[in-house]
Amino acid sequence: MSRKDKPPPPRPDMIWSGRFGRWVDRDTRSAERRSKDEQIAASVEADQKRLVAVLREAEAVQAQQGNALEKAAESVALSVLHALVDARRKADLTQVEVARRMNVSQSAVVRLESGTHSPTLSTLSRYAAAIGVKLEVRRIA
């Protein structure tokens, strides 16, 4: 809003604030009160900067923990998968037979057993059922 566009002040003692784009009352605070308010504002600004830094650090820690948790879950899934593959071999079943029992292609079983990706619990459960093994998941504690 340009100076020409602004409306006249509601009261003669008001001043135009370019910051707020409207008429505001003059600052009637004492110099001491103004100084205290500025100190409080500076303190709040410093606290905000500190809080932003703390939040960024917490986000970084959370991301690291999330990555560690994902790696742990992947490791558990792969170790279960390796145990199931060993059970398939002991049961003397071929990948083709397991694929037929799971109603998937043989290449899907090859991809699953290769461990190139972390299988879901339902996929592991289907694989276990196909080789005649019971997969049981228990919550500890």
The percent of residues in the chain predicted with pLDDT above 70, rounded, is: 97
Task: Flag whether pLDDT at 1 surpasses 60.
Answer: no
First to last CA, the chain: 65
Q: What is the pLDDT of residues 76-130, one digit of tens each?
A: 888 888 899 999 999 999 999 999 999 999 999 999 999 887 788 888 899 999 9
DSSP letter (8 states) at residue 136: -
Q: How many of the other CB atoms lie within 10 Å of CB of 23?
A: 15
Nearest C-alpha neighbor of 102 from the set 82, 131, 134: 131
- CATH class held by domain 30-131: mainly alpha
pLDDT, greater one: 9 or 87: 87
Which of these ranges, 19-33, 43-57, 58-72, has the smallest mean pLDDT?
19-33
pTM over 0.85: no
Domain boundaries, the chain: 30-131
Q: What Å distances lie between residue 14 and 7, 19, 35, 127, CA to CA?
A: 12, 14, 22, 79
